[in-house]
Structures are given as structure tokens and as C-alpha cells.
Amino acid sequence: MVTNVHEEATEEELNDKFADFGEIKNLHLNLDRRTGYVKGYALVEYETYREAKAAIDGLNNTEILGQEVSCDFAFVRPPAGGPRGGRRGERKRSASPGRR
């Protein structure tokens, strides 16, 4: 997720900046229906975790169109198979007292 995106930014301009870090799977720039301007954020999706992490590290707190943008993951947990691995359904807490 990229925040503080300039209101007149285009998908092409953001694509040019973010493509330096890997293959972009999807780029979404949300527009205000009333004004037609960018709402101030963009969602950039990469093929791999490594590419996304490189973009965050490389572009966080940098200027795009004269505004300093912030970049971070849009989701709290990286997808399964990311740096921590993990499997679906894995229990992270102890069992209920009656089930021990």
C-alpha cells in the first residue's frame, strides 16, 4: 500500500517507479468519483514477497511527484509461504481446558 499519493498521479507514473523492483501483478489507483482525482493511496501487488519487500524498502519515505509517500504491506500477515512459512489451520494457542 502506498499512501500520500499526489492527487494528479497516474497509473503509468506509479508503474514506472514501482516496476524497478519487480514484475507488478496489479496496480490499483482509487479515484474520487466526484472530483476524478486520486484519493491519496494506491495498491501495488507484486508476484513475490521479495519484490514487494524491495519496493517498500526502496520507495518508503521518498518523493513521487513532489510528495513524500509511505509504503508498507497492506495486510498484517504476509501470505503463506512468505518468510515465516506457516500453514493454514495451524493453531497458535493452547487447547481449551477440556481438550488437553
Q: What confidence tens digit (pLDDT) does each residue in 12-62 have?
A: 999 999 999 999 999 999 999 999 999 999 999 999 999 999 999 999 999
How far apart, in whole angstroms, are the C-alpha atoms of residue 56 and residue 53?
Answer: 5
Prediction pTM value = 0.71
Is 3 within 8 Å of 70 (Cβ atoms)?
A: yes
Q: Which residues pair with 64 in a beta bridge?
A: 67
